Structures are given as structure tokens and as C-alpha cells.
Amino acid sequence: MAEDFNDPLDTETWELRLYVAGQTPKSVTAVANLRKYCEQHLKGRYKLEVVDLLVNPQLAEGDQILAIPTLVRKVPEPIRKIIGDLSNEEKVLVGLDVRPIISK
Amino acid sequence: MQENTLSRPAALPQLPKSPTGIEGLDEITEGGLPKGRPTLICGSAGCGKTLMGIEFLVRGIQEFDEPGVLMAFEETGEELAANVASLGFDLKDLQERKMLRVDHVHVDRSEIEETGEYDLEGLFIRLGYAIDSIGAKRVVLDTIESLFSGFPNQGVLRSEIRRLFRWLKDRGVTTVITAERGDGTLTRQGLEEYVSDCVILLDNRVIDQITTRRLRIVKYRGSTHGTNEYPYLITEDGISVLPVTSLRLEHEVSNNIVSSGIPALDEMFGRRGFYQGSSVLITGTAGTAKTTLASAFAEKICQQGQRCLFFAFEESPQQLIRNMGSVGIDLQTHVRENRLRIEASRPTLNGLEQHLVTLHRLVKEFRPDAVVIDPITNLITVGNVSEVRSMLTRLIDFLKVSGITAFFTALVNGGAGRAEMTEEGVSSLVDTWISVRDLEGIGERNRGLSILKSRGMAHSNQVREFIVTDHGIELLDVVLGPTGIVTGAGRLTQQLEEHAQTLAVQQEAERRDRELERRRRMLEANIANLRTEFESVEEELRQISTHEQSRQQALTTGKQRITAANPPAQTAPTPESGQ
């Protein structure tokens, strides 16, 4: 699930982790939304990990996950969390602090 | 409680309960918290909600072998472990033994952005994982209300919390949820509407600058429970809810007798002392030697090699030892040999409950055979009458159950009618009641002692005067005057009079003896006289007789001579001639 690209223009690789619990509609929507935003705005400089807590429940404690789905921005610091199915693009981008790339 | 005893013979199915192991709480809840259901513990800040939750888990592990999960929303695992370490709870060790799992849930609003729909499945998964990993039977959520500050969408949160409690119920774990008390409601976020099985309210109240914590079971679905407000304390061993023992009157009784320390006082009781494990109350006005009587009792206990715990609310140990030394009661030796322990403090030092707990703790630690409290009246400065009474009831019950002889003194205010009443009304609780009082006569005060009651044995009905001497308390013999028992100077007068009378009687007897002697001597002298007289007469008679004989003989000799000169006549009657 991880896609890794190195862009010489931007040294920083974004590390994102999305926590879901099984294939619920909310989770599926969230994964789809996130993929879309990343391809659009962070192409080539992000690392995405989707964690299914039904498979690995022990991982929930580490990132203090309560709500599902939760998107965690591990890098760059500081850690940010976005909860919900990520349906509002603007909010997600603000939350992740991503400058939207429109003119490309 | 009554309902319970009544329903017991019918053997109705009881709600399964999960004992908390918290001192006293299981008695009030009649067995513990509802098993497999959530219980809400609410209270204002500083009530010990978290502590009660942790103690529920730790005791569950230690005493009932039920692993537990603590989900902490406010403090981290390290902080919690440090907080309860002073109570002897080693959370680290329990975690290593896989009996306890602490999961700190950190919610920071600033880190969280909300977009779109979500639920709290993550919390469920975490909790479920924690429960499964150690097979937990008990769960504590401390304080779940913190979530309300972390998640903006209240609607989602509420429905999720409702689902969480349902889910916990379905999993069959006994859950304790703590919550902060709200304004006019039990909890700030109205959690009580989700948890309806058992609600315990903790309260921290300050009355007259003294804090007392109280606990009340607001509801307990499907079970009877104690409905009162029960004081509780946070002690060195965790939470202790009182009353611990006063719910029932079932205790073993002893037939042994302990001495009061004053032989003459023992004599006034039908069985020469108090029953062991009974409670003795001495009431009296100021300066009637109550403390001295109590000390005499304590000394006696120690002399028998038993242990005595002395609570002095008026004097320091040194002062008490010195003062009692002046009347020949040696407490110092017993203190040194660890048979006597004097605990002195002002009653206002602590709240009543704290006193009770101190007493409980010392009794457990020192294991005395007798406890002296001098005086219980001073406790009234700490609480109101009903509180003091309930505290003393519990105290007496506790000592009785432990088989410890209790000896209390109480100060009563003078005045004719009230002298035989104690302000605390404990007189109905005690087994033996001795009253000491001033017997004020003309120009003097004397101390009198009487037994008002003594359960289970006959006792003297006399008011005995007693004096405090250099070698302890002495009960004086009863002196009956023309108008009854007399005391003090009257007693002395009476004694003097009696002495004079005895003397007079004795002198009279002596006089009679002497008279008799005189008579005897006189008679004896007479007898001697008569005898002398008789002797002289006898001698005279004897002399006469001798003279007669010699005269006769001379006559006979003369006749013979004459016969010899003349021719002899042989038939001459010689003997007749002599007459």
C-alpha cells in the first residue's frame, strides 16, 4: 500500500497513516478520498500507510486512536490528526497543512 | 438491610455482584457492584473517584483474581502509578504480571481536525484489545467525560458512549465509570442517563472547618442497599467506608471478667469486675477522678500482662503519667514495656471519622485487650450530637466485635436532673455505667461512686464514698448514720461517736470485771479469816484434850500406887475407874 517517490524539488516526504476498522463505508470513503488528495497535491512525495485496526488492534494505542477513520500526519512534525471520512477536501488540506496545487 | 434479612429465607435469586474489596463498601452494597454492568461513580474534585476506581481494580486482582483494565483519560499510567504507590498499590508489578492493563487515552482538541463522518470504533477496539489481552473482568473508565472536550460533535459522542456502555454490558465486564459532578446534576455531561444500574455519589463536605467525605448509593437497580450517607476516608490502605461493622448486632461474647483495678469497686459487682469485651462508661462532673479511675483500670490491665490503648483527649502522655504517678498509679513502666500506649491529641485535630479510623488502625496495629477513651465528651467539639453518637455507636460495635474491653469517660454538666445523662446519649449503648459525682454537704465536697447499670450481673446499690490517696483510689466503708449513709465530715463524726460509744462500753465492762475481782478477793480474805479462827479453836480443843489425858493418866498412876500399898484386889475394874 505504500508508495514511495523521491522528488528532488521537495526533500520532505510526507508520511501519512490512515486508521480504519474493516471495510465499513466510512473507511472505504476515507481511503478513496485520501488517495485522491495525495495524488493531486502531494504526488511523488508522500508515503501512505493504511492500518486496519481489526487486524492489528494493538496499533491503536500508539497513535492515540479513538475515532475511526483517523488520518495521522506523522511527518512533517508536528503530528496532526484528522478524523472523519475526509469528505471535505478543503478541511483535509488545511488540516494537513498542504498547499493546494492547482496550476499544474 | 431489613428487607434483605427478610427476603433471605425465601432464597430469592440475588443479582450477581462483583465484590469491590473496598472496606465497608461491600457491606453497604450488600455484596459489591452489579456484576457485568456499568456503575457510575460521580463526585466533585478531590473526592477520590479515581482512587476508588483503581482500588476496585487492584483489590479485584489481589483478592478475587479478576484481571482489570484501567482506561485513563486524564492521567498517564506513570502518574497514576505514582499517585497510588503511597497506598501500597504497585501498578507496575500488576502490569508485568499481566493482571492489569493501563491504557492512557490522550485527547487533544488542538491536534484533531474533524471532517466528515466518524465513530469511536477506535476506542472500542482499544478497549476490546486490552480486555482480551489479559482476560479482564473489570474495567475502569476514568474519566470518560474528557472526551467531550476532545470531540466537537456531541451527537456522535453521546450515541457512541451509549453504544460503549451497551457493548461493555454485552461483554460482561464489570465497569466503573467516574465522572465529575455537574451543576444540579449528578454528572457534568449527564452520563447518568446512560448508566442506570448503579450510581454512587461521593461528596466532600466542610462543616465547621472540618472536612468529611461521604458516600451515598443513589440507585442500585435490582438490589437493596444501604441508603444513608456513609462517611468514608482515604487512609493509608485505600478507601475505607464506615460503618464497617455496625450493620448487625452479631458478636461473640465472653464470660471472662476483667478487674476494674480497684478491689473495692470490683466487690460492688456481682461477678467482681466487668465482662471482657464489654463497654464501660464512667460519667461524672469535673474533678470527680474519672481519669484516675480510667488510669487505674489501664494499669490493672497492663499488670496482668495485657495491652491497653489509652486515648487522651485532654492531657499529653507526659502530663498523664506524671499526674497519675502522684496518686500511685505507675503508667511509665507499662509504657516502657510496650504494654500501654497513650495516644494524645486534641479532638479538633481531625474530623470524627478520622478519629475513628485512627482508632481502627491503632487497634489493628497494637492489638490491645482494652481501650480507654478519656473523655468521649470532647469529641462533641468536632461534630454535632448525632454525628458523635453514630461515631461512638460504630466505635463501640467495632470494639465489641473485636472482643476488646472499652472504657470511656464522659463529662456531664452538673445539675440535679441531668447528672445522669450523657450528652451523646451513649448510655444506652454501654454495658456498664458507673457514675461518679460530688456529694456536696455543709462546707465540703466528697466524691461518691455508684453503679447505674451493669448488664448481665448483679451490682451494689450503694453510693460509695471514695478518696484519692497516694496509693490510688480507695473506697471507704459504708457508714450508716441515723439518716442513712453519711460521708465526709459527717462520716468522721459518726465514726468518732461510734468510737466513743465502743470505748464507753469497753470501760463499763472493765469496771465490772474489776468489781468482781474485788468481791472475789474479799471473799477469799473472809475464808482465810474463818480458817484461822477454826485453826485456833481446833488447837484449843486439842490442848484441852491433851490436858485431860495427862490428868487421867496421873490419876491412874496414883491409884495404882495406892493399890500396890494395900492388898491387891484382882477383880478391881481398872478401866472403869479411869472414867
Sign of CA dihedral A39, A42, A46, A51: negative
For position A9, what pLDDT does the model report?
41
pLDDT at B138 (0 to 100) = 92
Whether residue B132 is predicted with pLDDT greater than 60 in this model: the reply is yes
For A4-59, the pLDDT digits (tens) are 444 444 567 888 889 988 888 888 888 898 888 888 888 777 888 888 888 888 88
| Cβ-Cβ contacts under 8 Å, A29 against chain B | 116
Taking a C-beta distance cutoff of 8 angstroms, is the pair B449, B439 a contact? Answer: no
Does B75 have pLDDT greater than 80?
Answer: yes
Q: How confident is the model at residue B571 (pLDDT cuts 50, 70, 90)?
A: low
Out of A30, A61, A80, name the one closest to residue B113 (CB). Answer: A80
- Chain A: residue whose CA lies nearest to B125: A57
pLDDT surpassing 90 at residue B549: yes
Per-residue model confidence as pLDDT tens digits over B220-268? 888 888 777 888 878 777 887 765 454 556 667 788 888 888 888 888 8
CB atoms within 10 A of CB B83: 15
Asked if A66 lies within 8 A of B107 by C-beta distance, the reply is yes
Which of B107, B121, B161 should be substituted to probe chain A, the one whose Cβ sees the most A Cβ atoms within 10 Å? Answer: B121
| Cβ–Cβ gap A60/B111 under 8 Å | no
Q: What pLDDT is attached to residue A11?
A: 60
Distance CA(B241)–CA(B151), nearest Å, equals: 36
Question: Are residues B117 and A26, on separate chains, in Cβ contact within 8 Å?
Answer: yes
Q: Which residues of B touch A67 (CB under 8 A)?
A: 118-123, 151
**pTM given for the model:** 0.66
Q: Which residues of B touch A66 (CB under 8 A)?
A: 105, 107, 120, 122-123, 126, 147, 150
Q: What is the pLDDT of residues B375-388, one digit of tens each?
A: 887 777 666 677 77
pLDDT at A14: 83
Is the pLDDT at B514 greater than 90? The verdict is yes
Q: What is the pLDDT of residue B553?
A: 93
Given CA atoms B321, B324, B325, B328 in this order, what sign does their dihedral have?
A: negative
Mean pLDDT, range B310-336, rounded to an integer: 90
Length of chain A, in residues: 104
pLDDT, mean of residues B39-55 = 88
Nearest chain A residue to B113 by CA distance is A82
Interface probe for A, chosen from B104, B105, B125, B161 (most Cβ of A below 10 Å), is: B125
- Give the residue from chain B lying closest to A69, CA to CA: B118
If one looks up domain B257-477 in CATH, what number appears? Answer: 3.40.50.300
ipTM: 0.83
Is there a contact between B105 and A19 if contact means CB atoms under 8 Å apart? Answer: no
Give pLDDT, residue B240: 79
CA distances from residue A102 to A37, A40, A88 in whole angstroms, order as listed:
12, 9, 17
- Averaged pLDDT, B113-118: 82
Residues of A in contact with B105 (CB under 8 A): 64, 66
Confidence at residue B569, expressed as pLDDT on a 0 to 100 scale? 59
Give the C-alpha separation, B205 to B216, whole Å. 13
Question: What value does the mean pLDDT take over residues B547-553?
Answer: 93
Per-residue pLDDT at B289 exceeds 80: yes
* pLDDT computed for residue B508 by the predictor: 95
> In this structure, what C-alpha cell is assigned to residue B569?
484386889
Closest CA–CA distance from residue B119 to any residue of chain A (Å):
5
- pLDDT (0 to 100) of residue B180: 87
pLDDT of amino acid B228: 78
Backbone angles phi, psi at A48, to 5 degrees: -115, 135
Residue B350 has pLDDT above 90, yes or no: no
The strands making up B198-207's β-sheet, listed across from edge to edge, are B100-104, B68-72, B138-142, B174-180, B38-43, B198-207, B210-220, B229-235, B238-241
- The shortest CB-CB distance from B118 to any of A64, A85, A95 is to A85
Q: What is the pLDDT of residues B10-45, one digit of tens each?
A: 456 778 888 888 878 888 888 889 999 899 998 888
CATH code 2.40.50.100 for B2-110+120-241: no
| B-chain residue closest to A94, CA distance | B113
CB within 8 Å: B120 and A92? no
Nearest residue of chain B to residue A81 (CA atoms):
B112
3 state SS of A27:
helix
Task: Tell me which chain B residues have a C-beta less than 8 angstroms from the C-beta of A72.
Answer: none
Choice between B395 and B404, residue whose per-residue pLDDT is larger: B404
**Per-residue model confidence as pLDDT tens digits over B189-228:** 777 777 778 899 998 887 767 777 888 888 888 888 877 7
Mutate to test the interface with B, among A56, A64, A81, A98 (most CBs of B within 10 A): A64
In chain A, residues with a C-beta closer than 8 Å to the C-beta of B106 are 64
- Do residues A94 and A43 make contact, with C-beta atoms less than 8 angstroms apart? no
- Domains in chain A (CATH in brackets) are 14-84 (3.40.30.10)
At B449, the amino acid letter reads L
In terms of residues, how long is chain B?
A: 579
Q: Looking at the complex, report in whole angstroms how far the Cα of residue B24 sits from the nearest Cα belonging to chain A.
A: 36
Cell 486508521 locates to A19
Around B406, how many Cα atoms within 13 Å sit in the side-chain half-sphere?
29
Q: Does residue B83 carry a pLDDT above 70?
A: yes
Rounded to a whole number, what is the distance in angstroms from the first to the last CA of chain B?
Answer: 135
Using a CB–CB cutoff of 8 Å, tell me whether A72 touches chain B. no
Please check the confidence at residue B313 and state whether its pLDDT lies above 50: yes
pLDDT value for B161: 87
Is pLDDT above 90 for B413? no
Q: Give the N- to C-terminal CA distance of chain A in Å, as an integer.
A: 25
Distance from CA of A68 to the nearest CA of B (A): 5
Contacts across the A-B interface (CB distance below 8 Å) = 97
Q: Is the pLDDT of residue B133 over 70?
A: yes
Q: Judge whether residue B579 has pLDDT over 70.
A: no
DSSP symbols for B352-405: HHHHHHHHHHHHHHH--SEEEEE-GGGGGGTS-HHHHHHHHHHHHHHHHHTT-E
Q: Do B113 and A94 touch (CB under 8 A)?
A: yes
- Average pLDDT of A82-93? 84
Mean pLDDT, chain B, whole residue set: 83
> Which region among B95-104, B459-468, B540-549, B564-573 has the lowest average model confidence (pLDDT)?
B564-573
Mind listing the pLDDT tens digit for each residue in B166-186? 999 999 999 999 888 887 778
If pLDDT is split at 50, 70 and 90, which confidence band does B419 have? very low
User: Which positions in chain A touch B153 (Cβ < 8 Å)?
Assistant: none
| Nearest residue on chain B to A53, alpha-carbon basis | B125
Positive/negative CA dihedral, B437, B439, B440, B446: negative
In this prediction, residue B371 carries a pLDDT of: 92
In degrees and rounded to multiples of 5, residue A41 shows phi and psi of: -110, -20
Rounded to whole angstroms, the maximal C-alpha distance in chain A is 42
